[in-house]
Amino acid sequence: MTEPASKAPRVIRLAADDNVIVAVDQIGQGASIAGVTAQARIPRGHKMAAQAIEQGEPIRKFGQIIGFAKSPIAPGDWVHEHNVEMHDFARDYAFCSEAKPEDILPVAQQATFGDVNMDVAQQAAIFLQQYRTTDSKGSPLLPKRPRRRKGELE
């Protein structure tokens, strides 16, 4: 019987110009992923440098600056608070400006409420109206537990 091949840890680069990749699975030290060898263990959900990042250079994730290198970061290094710092810089608030709608399903196959097609926002609004537990002032809409009279057993 043959041993199952070990699966390589998965990573994701969130934007083409990112200089970090995000570990979908934990990456062991010495593992090679996306042409980069991990210099340390990279926990799931954390970042690994995809290229050399010089001290003071921006660290990019989602195509946005998320910090600056506190010291030189080698390809494969774990990118975290020990080697990242913040500086003042001009922010680009046009996040996701390149986003485009994806036609995954034809309109006829999209979620419906009765016979009416609606988008996700409409579905969410209906759900929240049906399952809302407080009014606009935060008071509970669910019936209150009856108060016990003095002398009643708990």
CA distance 12 to 66: 16
pLDDT, tens digit, for every residue of 57-78?
A: 999 998 889 999 999 999 999 9
Close Cβ partners of 39 (under 8 Å, ≥ 6 residues apart): 29, 74, 76, 77, 78
Q: Evaluate if residue 95 carries a pLDDT over 70.
A: no
Q: Can you give the pLDDT at residue 1?
A: 47
Q: Can you give the pLDDT at residue 97?
A: 73
Q: Can you give the pLDDT at residue 38?
A: 96
How far apart are the two ends of the chain, measured CA to CA in Å? 63
Q: Are 128 and 141 in contact (CB under 8 A)?
A: no
In this structure, the dihedral spanned by the alpha carbons of residues 52, 45, 29 and 8, taken in order and rounded to 10 degrees, is -100
* Mean pLDDT value of segment 21-38: 94
Span of 2-6, 128-132, 139-143 with lowest mean pLDDT: 2-6
Domains in the chain, ordered, with CATH? 11-85 (2.30.130.110)
Q: Can you give the pLDDT at residue 150?
A: 67
C-alpha neighbours within 13 Å on the C-beta side of residue 95: 9
CA distance 58 to 77: 15
* Mean pLDDT value of segment 89-97: 73
CA distance 62 to 45: 14
| Higher per-residue pLDDT: 120 or 15 | 15
Work out whether the CA dihedral 28, 71, 91, 75 comes out positive or negative. Answer: negative
